[in-house]
Amino acid sequence: MTSRLKAFARFWYDFVVGDDWRVAVAVVAALALTYAVSTTAAPAWPILPAVVAILLPLSLWRVARRQSSNSATSQK
């Protein structure tokens, strides 16, 4: 029973969060910041595009770095 519940939770985690949890956390934080800024006079719309512009290259860079370090290890 416990293992089935764990598998169920694992499925939904993989389905929603995917293989980079930092992306999910950053999106939630960006939405919270957008809400906070929208209650002031400052424009809140640039926050999400700015977060995507930073988040996507960072996430790709992590994969590229991991792959290059893996290939360097396998060549040794």
Partner 1 sequence: MNSSALFITVFLACAVEAVEALTIVLAAGVGRDWRSAFIGVGCSLAVLALIVAALGPALTAIPLGALRVVVGGLLLIFGLQWLRKSILRASGLKAVHDEAATYRTQLAAAEAAPVERRGLVTDWYSFTLSFKGVLLEGLEVAFIALTFGANQRNIPLASLAAVCAVVVVALAGLAVRAPLSRVPENAMKFIVGVMLTSFGMFWGAEGAGARWPWADATLLVLVPVVTLFALALVAVLRRAGGGVRTGETIADGLGAS
For the bound state, the minimum distance from the C-beta of residue 5 to partner 1, rounded and expressed in Å, comes to 18
Interaction between residue 73 and partner 1 (CB under 8 A): no
User: Among residues 20, 23, 14, which one has the least CA distance to residue 52?
Assistant: 23
Give, for 67, the enclosing helix (H) or strand (E): helix 47-75
CA–CA separation, 24 and 12 (whole Å): 13
Interaction between residue 39 and partner 1 (CB under 8 A): yes
Contacting residues toward partner 1, per CB under 8 A: 15-20, 23-24, 27-28, 30-32, 34-35, 37-39, 43-45, 47-49, 52-53, 55-57, 59-60, 63-64, 67
